[in-house]
Structure 1
């Protein structure tokens, strides 16, 4: 076996059509490679009915890849398919160059993007689990026994030692993540006790979730036009007048998301699974939006979030040339909102849709309070439910705009006992 050299950013992309041809898959793989910082110098394509056991790509195609590497001087081969440990080792032995499959590439991108302590732990755990299956015969020196004066003879091989150290590190990371997960669950429990609903932004990577999150909440989170720009979940409170919610920005999904990532990021994905409402953000300007939605739905089902109520948010309507609009179903529930996080078009409609989901449709009424009900008046103002006010000898006459259930909660009496007066011409 060859000794792995220092990584050269020049790479050869290998992306085959296995069964059905899908050009979008190849373009997405190129975006992944560029997001990782690779410099693409050659591409190798082709089509197979089924993968070949030894090299995955077939003997002839493997020789073609080897020729491209020798021609371009590339130091890395990226394969747009999950390779078994033996296929990866066989390709490296033939090509004499480092080979990285799709899972390894995504793990590398995640390692670059992780910023928080939890995110770094999760990425390292996923990388070690992926590496655990690739230690056997990965390098020739791993089979040698430790030696030296006074240490010769039968004993632990370097491979066995590395396996033991790897298992110990994995166990340590799992314990740390368990503690972090407990802290995160305590925060969720606190929000649940205070009756603050949670809204999670989910969707395909690069659909504009982080930009939308910043536009809605006024946060300054990192957002960029690249795959997996944001890994660490961020939560911010959003004031909707008569309602306060917590909005959570989560990691983006992708086709064939590696199982190692789903397992390692279970604490982060728990924010999605425990949400009260999912805003499924969709790139309205992307021709592959339908297939991306299918991929997102598969991941949501995989993590147990498939049954959570969902509101479709079509983002980037400024690029698609759409007007901002809302669509309702037969029952009058808002099921789709078209927005542009970049221009803020449609964001008021999105806030209205979130408020209506949790509280129902708002109604505007005049409400009379006497001077002894100053506390009720203060609660109405704090909730942003007061539109106008008149004062006379008997107390206050307030014009309030809120759903009936929320108004009853603020006034602390049944709606029928409030003495509401529907606004009419000339009133008050």
Structure 2
């Protein structure tokens, strides 16, 4: 099934199984609804996994009956079905029923919403990698063994994967070169990471120089033709499907903020890694803002934070600042409890295996109202790599060119003293080093 063909509607039943507790179907329902389905029923089961259907055989039969009674055309399964489980469960369902598990549903949502080349390529590639073992399972083994290279559906998928991998490598190289140029221009790179719908895009608007929370139209006057002129926000899953970069100023320092694709729970690591543009931005960030929705119940907050930390533990290199967002929805006691939950979850998280990555104290904010944002700015400034230099140079035309260069890369303190100019400048270590070199040249050293 191609979910994109059904985004405008279709009746669906959701199914979920959990070995330890009664399954919560809230998120699989939201995923299905985001894909355009009308959820008309559900079947859940608490038991260990059945090797044939995932659900127990009796519960799988019940699912088939519920689908038939509800006149549903699809089943959205909250979990990962193996190729064999997928085929066997599909055979059990009424003829013509579409079956999509959680992973494929997420992939199709990404593919439907992707528009820039990197996101589109990644979505196609991840979908083909997911489909390949199922194509192998569906192929007749004897025919597959005898197939010519031209006629094998498996080989066709493998060829398409190879082509997309080559294309993605080209796009990744271009993105890496763009980041190198931005750093050379004095910009700090900051990634916003977090669970889908945590409020990353609203926070981007709050921090950016040329976006307002209540107005998505930027003036585009950034000097970077790849910086989008708006940043979408909405209270639904996967509103942001591409990385969106905007310029911000933090105490005079120019910063580029990148809002990355929202994360979801229970996706296999290799599937998450398929979206390498998001992971590359996280890995390349001088700091990462790990945004969580403080208004979620404590169990959900912990689970979503663990999902976010799982990605950061593998990819982040700069300091990580947990941002406890949406505190405007909470009382003071609830706000304190949310911060405590985040601190407890981080203390026992996978980040313990990354002693090279520094986890800063959580910052409670409301991106919507601006509450706590100044504290976040201060914490971000403290986390960014920086050095300070003071020097004196002769007051010449070349010095004015140097001052212009410094103003483009920060907020220098300048004092004119007769024939000399005293300068104090703070910024990225590499920019400070270049400033010192240029000042030495002006002094003839």
TM-score (normalizing by structure 2): 0.74
Decide which of 142, 162, 172 is 2:163's aligned counterpart. 172
Alignment of 1:22-421 (within 5 A): 23=24, 26-48=25-47, 50-96=48-94, 97-136=97-136, 138=138, 156=147, 161-217=152-208, 218=211, 220-287=230-297, 288-302=300-314, 304-305=315-316, 307-321=317-331, 335-358=361-384, 375=400, 383-384=410-411
* In 2, Cα distance between equivalents of 1:99 and 1:39: 15
Q: Following TM superposition, by how much is the alpha carbon of 1:203 offset from its aligned partner in structure 2, in angstroms?
A: 0.9
Q: Matches of 2:420 and 2:327 in 1, distance apart?
A: 44
Contact 2:119 / 2:277 at 8 angstroms: preserved in 1? Answer: no
| 1:45 match: secondary structure | strand
**C-alpha deviation, 1:110, in angstroms:** 0.9
Greater Rg, structure 1 or structure 2?
1
| Matched residue SS, 1:237 | strand
Name stretches of at least 5 consecutive residues in structure 2 with no aligned partner: 212-228, 344-358, 438-445
Kindly indicate whether the alpha-carbon contact (under 8 Å) linking 1:242 and 1:406 is maintained by their aligned counterparts in 2.
Answer: no
> How many aligned positions are there?
385
Unaligned runs of 5+ in 1: 146-153, 414-428
Identify if the C-alpha distance between structure 1 residues 380 and 334 changes in structure 2 by more than 3 Å, giving closer, same or farther.
farther
Structure 2: distance between partners of 1:377 and 1:193? 17
Shift of residue 344, structure 1, vs aligned partner: 2.5
Q: Show the counterpart of 2:18.
A: 17
Q: Distance in 2 between matches of 1:103 and 1:67?
A: 24
SS at match of 1:132: helix
1:425 aligned partner: none
Distance 1:377 1:99, change over 3 A: closer
Q: Distance in 1 between matches of 2:281 and 2:430?
A: 26
Q: Matched residue of 1:29: which SS?
A: helix
| Distance in 2 separating the partners of 1:369 and 1:61 | 80
* Equivalent pair of 2:13/2:76 in contact (CA under 8 Å): yes
Shift in alpha-carbon separation, 1:286–1:62, aligned structure 2, 3 A: same
